[in-house]
Amino acid sequence: MNKLKGTNYTEVTEFILVGLSNQPKSQIIFFCIFLHLYLGTIMGNIFIITVVWKEPRLHTPMYFFLCNLSFVDLGSTTTAVPLILVNCLRDCPTITYNDCFAQMTISIFWSITECCLLAIMAYDRFIAISNPLGYMLIMTLKVCFQIATTMWISNFLLALLTVVAIPVQFCAGHNVVNHFVCEVEAVLKLVCSDTTVSEILMWIGAIFILPLPFLFILLSYIRILVAILKIRSTAGRGKAFSTCGSHLTVVTIYYGTLISMYLKPQNKDSKDQDKIISIFYGTVIPMMNPLIYTLRNKDMIAALRKAAGKTKQVSLSV
């Protein structure tokens, strides 16, 4: 968008968030729904991190990256949901300029990091299945920490670069964000100065969020399938498939939601649809991930039973 001549610019100090509904009764319902989803997400992901931390059998690369994923889910929901809960109880939800841009930066960071983590976890499963004897020699604790550190730092710099490039000149009176959080595209539409650089950086960021990690995951699973087909025993094939089941389920749900959000046709109702998809993407998926990895994972179930047995023994002794 080119800079508009004769447009009155103003220093925006806060944005008004349109939210989900203007009806007080609906706001209370949304508050209860978001609160339950948020509490479920917090408890589920903290549970996974705690179980992996306390159970020596789970001190492997697969569960190391799973803990990273749980931390990302905790961070992504905490970035948005508390603000949504507060705004559900307010007549005119607002957010300051600095808080809005901080939220955008952190939200982009969590999104990119989750996509990268899912790609790394796919590669980890490929190494484990294709080279089981050399797996622990390749994916050492040092290598895992190096991969994680590089990912966290580079993703934060990419997210920061994307948001910093957004022009700061807004049209007079244009401070109403048609969303329940500070979403990049919604804020970018309020800018009156040239947004070419911002749009280019957004496309670059979108490439890192969608095509590249997804392509890496797809190639990893093609190689995983080839490696599984080389296994002669039926039991061995079943075990190999089971180690990928949880991750493949999470990838399908996560990328299916992203694709429906960014690649669907735009129409007059698309903004409301975007809000609904954003709710699923930002609150439901982070709550589902712990359930998927717990209910479909034999090691996690065994660790849960072990923890429950210890708790029962302690209660009986008391």
User: For the residues of 42-89, what is the DSSP string, one character each?
Assistant: HHHHHHHHHHHHH-GGG-SHHHHHHHHHHHHHHHHHHHHHHHHHHHHT
| Segment among 83-87, 97-101, 179-183, 273-277 with least mean pLDDT | 273-277
Q: pLDDT confidence of 234, banded at 50, 70, 90?
A: confident
Average of pLDDT values for 246-271?
Answer: 74
102-153 pLDDT per residue, tens: 888 898 899 889 999 999 999 999 999 988 888 989 999 899 999 999 999 9
Note the pLDDT of residue 223.
Answer: 92
| Segment among 37-41, 97-101, 104-108, 294-298 with least mean pLDDT | 294-298
Q: pLDDT confidence of 71, banded at 50, 70, 90?
A: very high
Within 8 A by CB and 6+ apart from 153, the residues are: none
Torsion angle in degrees (nearest 10) through CA of 79, 81, 83, 86: -160
Q: Which residues pair with 14 in a beta bridge?
A: 96
Average of pLDDT values for 229-242?
Answer: 81
Which residue did the predictor score with more confidence, 46 or 201? 46
User: Rounded to the nearest 10 degrees, what angle do helices 196-209 and 211-229 cross at?
Assistant: 10
Note the pLDDT of residue 217.
Answer: 94
Q: Which two tokens stand for residue 184?
A: 């990049």
Q: Tell me the C-alpha to C-alpha distance, in Å, between residue 108 and each of 40, 99, 295.
A: 23, 14, 29
Please tell me the distance from the alpha carbon of residue 288 to that of residue 312, in angstroms, as a whole number.
Answer: 27
Query: What residue ranges do the domains of the chain occupy?
Result: 21-306
The answer to whether the beta carbons of residues 15 and 176 sit under 8 Å apart is: yes
Average of pLDDT values for 216-220?
Answer: 93
Please tell me the distance from the alpha carbon of residue 4 to that of residue 9, in angstroms, as a whole number.
Answer: 10
Which residue did the predictor score with more confidence, 235 or 204? 235
Q: Which CATH class is domain 21-306?
A: mainly alpha
Q: pLDDT confidence of 2, banded at 50, 70, 90?
A: very low
